[in-house]
Amino acid sequence: MSKPLILVLGDQLSFALPTLRQTPDNAVVALCEVAEEASYVPHHIHKIGLFLAAMRHFAQQLREAGWQVHHSALDDPDNTHSLIDEAERLARAYHCDHILVVRPGEWRLWDAMQSRANSTIPWQLVEDDRFFTTPDDFAQWAQGRKQLRLEYFYREQRKRSGLLMQADGKPLGGQWNFDHDNREPLPDTFTPPQQRQHSIDGITREALDVAARHFPAHIGRIDNFNWPVTRQQALTELDDFIAYRLSDFGRYQDAISDTEPYLFHARISVALNIGLLSPREVCHAVEQAHLEGLAPINAAEGFIRQVLGWREYVRGLYWTQMPEYKTRNGLGFQRELPAFFWDGNTDMRCLKRAIEMTIDNSYAHHIQRLMVTGNFALLCGVKPEALCDWYLAVYADASEWVELPNTLGMVLHADGGLMGSKPYCASGKYIDKMSDHCQHCRYSPKQVTGPKACPLNSLYWHFLETHRPELNHNPRMKLIYGSLDRMKDEKRDAMREQATQFLDQLTSAPGYGQPTHTGGYYSD
């Protein structure tokens, strides 16, 4: 009788996984902690702790549900520290004749697994049906379209899922998209909603200790870890969001605070991306909250658009465009990552706080990622591979399928405009409008040149000038190039000079934070 080894990856921690739904009684389920996955980019210590803790809890729950489970721990002397090698080692040890795995979250692993389809112990890949769409669904939607715009994809998704739809096939509230209601800055005084403190039990404690012991040089401190690591904890995080934050999620979605990292954001992307919550259940919970009068339509629609629209859209793009997508560099950027991305040591307040919050929590909300760190990297021309590796490493919710299109496509406009019709570039004015950072900053967002001028201002115009050949023809950039053209030559020269001086003194950090030796495995 055929006997499978079911490999459950660290971001597949769900009983609804297709490989766990219909399997023979003799199957062995394997979860593998491996050093390679923690160090191929130098992941934040919270992220490593999260994966180890959540995998250990899930292994225990599988055992309690009657499965035969093998959990390879980082400390196991026989551990090969590679997902592929470890699964094959366990398949041999348990006399399994094939390995079953759901599509992983990264092309790198998918490719390695596919290439073993005909090996002695063949690998079989199963489609991940926990998402609303499969890569094939997306490919079908994309076929024959010149532009792959989110809005059209999203409308199809609403129709297909029935979420926020009326019986007559029209969108609830009379509009598909309430984005224009979702751009308010925070009021001068506001009380931020409380964040839940998740309990740390013995399993989690040990996992966090292991992470800290094995990867002492990785960014972050383990003692303020506060992510859900079980389904139960993830559900409490979802309940908290709906009860205390959803109603204001919409209008303050783009606001940035100098002190509050989470504001009204859901904090569920981490649980969602490792499988503890399903996209369907969170969308239905939010829809229900709206129907019960707990949240206005702009909040519910804004949230559902992120999960049903954006999240599925970037995943579709990733799987249909890889591996070529990762090599794109549409604006020809060559700069290494600025060194302060690893320690927040800069006097630009917005960047300092976004990076400090990232170091503290392995989290920053989407506008901090897109319009603070992302915008700065775009204006300075940081090369895609350096920035993508950083985002993948530092954020607990970052899997390559979601991180790569967001960073390479949205932030750096490096995919030739496939995702975004124009680059998301902004000057200090935007930061001043949407945040309270500038009040605490030594630079002025109102000045463009001179010692007090916010560097984002001259960098913004310098970026537009430098990339005129690629961007000038874009109708959405016409207005801004008009403003640039109307400037006096002396003003343009002074701004160019200011930006060039800034860029010349910017210290880069090639290799900073990378694993210390070739094995990529830290041990004490």
The continuous run of DSSP H or E covering 128 comes out as none
Interface mask (CB under 6 A) for ligand DLZ, residues 21-50, using x and -? -----------xxx--xx----x---xx--
Residue 439 has what DSSP assignment? G
The continuous run of DSSP H or E covering 412 comes out as none
**210 scored as a contact of ligand DLZ (CB under 6 A):** no
**455 scored as a contact of ligand DLZ (CB under 6 A):** no
33 or 237, CB closer to ligand DLZ? 33
Burial (Cβ within 10 Å: 0-12, 13-18, ≥19) of residue 489: exposed
Question: Which residue of the chain is nearest ligand DLZ when measured via CB?
Answer: 10
**459 scored as a contact of ligand DLZ (CB under 6 A):** no
**372 scored as a contact of ligand DLZ (CB under 6 A):** no
Phi (first) and psi of residue 446, to 5 degrees: -85, -15
364 or 499, CB closer to ligand DLZ? 364
Q: In angstroms, what CA-CA distances link 175 with 132, 154, 155, 180, 509?
A: 22, 12, 10, 11, 46
How far is Cα 130 from Cα 60, in angstroms, rounded to an integer? 22
**295 scored as a contact of ligand DLZ (CB under 6 A):** no
Decide: helix, strand or coil at residue 444: strand
The continuous run of DSSP H or E covering 353 comes out as helix 349-361
**315 scored as a contact of ligand DLZ (CB under 6 A):** no
109 or 235, CB closer to ligand DLZ? 109
Q: Residue 410 in contact with residue 370, Cβ under 8 Å?
A: yes
Task: Name which position in 56, 71, 87, 105 contacts ligand DLZ (CB under 6 A).
Answer: 105
**107 scored as a contact of ligand DLZ (CB under 6 A):** no
**287 scored as a contact of ligand DLZ (CB under 6 A):** no
Q: In angstroms, what CA-CA distances link 409 with 305, 374, 377?
A: 18, 11, 13
Q: In angstroms, what CA-CA distances link 253 with 99, 124, 242, 364?
A: 43, 41, 15, 13
How far is Cα 61 from Cα 230, in angstroms, rounded to an integer? 10
**399 scored as a contact of ligand DLZ (CB under 6 A):** yes
Size of the site for ligand DLZ (CB under 6 A): 18
Q: For residue 438, what are its two tokens? A: 């500038």
Which range of residues in 16-24, 104-112, 323-331, 414-422 is near ligand DLZ by CB under 6 A? 104-112
**110 scored as a contact of ligand DLZ (CB under 6 A):** no
Q: In angstroms, what CA-CA distances link 514 with 339, 361, 393, 427?
A: 13, 20, 10, 31
104 or 171, CB closer to ligand DLZ? 104
Give helix then strand counts, H and E, for the chain.
24, 5
Phi (first) and psi of residue 112, to 5 degrees: -65, -40
| Shortest distance in whole angstroms from residue 46 CB to ligand DLZ | 10
Which range of residues in 99-107, 153-161, 184-192, 513-521 is near ligand DLZ by CB under 6 A? 99-107
Scanning the structure block, which residue is given the tokens 């989690």?
Answer: 204
48 or 276, CB closer to ligand DLZ? 48
Task: Name which position in 3, 61, 109, 491 contacts ligand DLZ (CB under 6 A).
Answer: 109
| Shortest distance in whole angstroms from residue 83 CB to ligand DLZ | 6
**51 scored as a contact of ligand DLZ (CB under 6 A):** yes
The continuous run of DSSP H or E covering 81 comes out as none
**301 scored as a contact of ligand DLZ (CB under 6 A):** no
The continuous run of DSSP H or E covering 52 comes out as helix 45-64
210 or 380, CB closer to ligand DLZ? 210
**104 scored as a contact of ligand DLZ (CB under 6 A):** yes
| Shortest distance in whole angstroms from residue 74 CB to ligand DLZ | 7
| Shortest distance in whole angstroms from residue 34 CB to ligand DLZ | 5
Q: Give how far the C-alpha of residue 351 lies from the chain's centroid of Cα atoms, to the nearest Å.
A: 18
33 or 301, CB closer to ligand DLZ? 33
**240 scored as a contact of ligand DLZ (CB under 6 A):** no
Which range of residues in 7-15, 170-178, 278-286, 445-453 is near ligand DLZ by CB under 6 A? 7-15
Give the residue from 452, 455, 442, 450 showing the smallest Cα distance to 504: 455
Task: Name which position in 106, 128, 237, 432 contacts ligand DLZ (CB under 6 A).
Answer: 106
| Shortest distance in whole angstroms from residue 210 CB to ligand DLZ | 11
Q: In angstroms, what CA-CA distances link 198 with 59, 221, 231?
A: 20, 17, 12
**204 scored as a contact of ligand DLZ (CB under 6 A):** no
Q: Residue 14 in contact with residue 277, Cβ under 8 Å?
A: no
Which range of residues in 8-16, 380-388, 479-487, 493-501 is near ligand DLZ by CB under 6 A? 8-16
108 or 491, CB closer to ligand DLZ? 108
207 or 283, CB closer to ligand DLZ? 207
Secondary structure of 194-209 as H, E, C letters: CCCCCCCCHHHHHHHH
Interacting residues with ligand DLZ between 60 and 89 (CB under 6 A) = 83
106 or 415, CB closer to ligand DLZ? 106
Q: Residue 444 in contact with residue 432, Cβ under 8 Å?
A: no
| Shortest distance in whole angstroms from residue 395 CB to ligand DLZ | 11
Which range of residues in 105-113, 126-134, 186-194, 234-242 is near ligand DLZ by CB under 6 A? 105-113
218 or 462, CB closer to ligand DLZ? 218
Interacting residues of 38 by C-beta distance below 8 A, sequence separation 6+:
48, 51, 211, 214, 215, 218
Task: Name the residues that contact ligand DLZ, by CB under 6 A.
Answer: 9-11, 32-34, 37-38, 43, 47-48, 51, 83, 104-106, 109, 399
